[in-house]
Amino acid sequence: MSHVAADVSALTCWSEGKSGYDVITTLQTKQDSNGVVRFVSTLLPGQSQIIAIPGPVNAPARTLMSRIGDRIEITAPPRVSPE
């Protein structure tokens, strides 16, 4: 599990499916244990999973992972200052 924002953590897993890499990303907030969101997608070579998480105004959306050929590349989360 990695932190993608000050109060949001993410867990991503994937497997090779019939149509591409099946990717499941689950996000959870610290404030609400029921605040869970799950994204399911199938990635072909060259495709990315982009999930927008609220942050600073005009900040770009974070790319959590990309499929490059036959491998998955995870984007390192930004440093989050402890609260």
Q: How far is CA 48 from CA 32, 52, 56, in A?
A: 28, 13, 22
Q: How far apart are CA 74 and CA 19, in angstroms?
A: 20
Q: Residue 61's pLDDT is what? A: 66
Residues 28-81 have pLDDT tens digits of 887 776 778 888 889 888 887 777 666 667 777 666 677 777 777 777 665 555
Q: What are φ and ψ of residue 45, in 5° steps?
A: -55, 135
Q: How far is CA 57 from CA 29, 44, 50, 81, in A?
A: 20, 31, 17, 19
Residue for token digits 């984007």?
75
Q: Residue 42's pLDDT is what? A: 92
Domain residue limits, the chain: 2-74
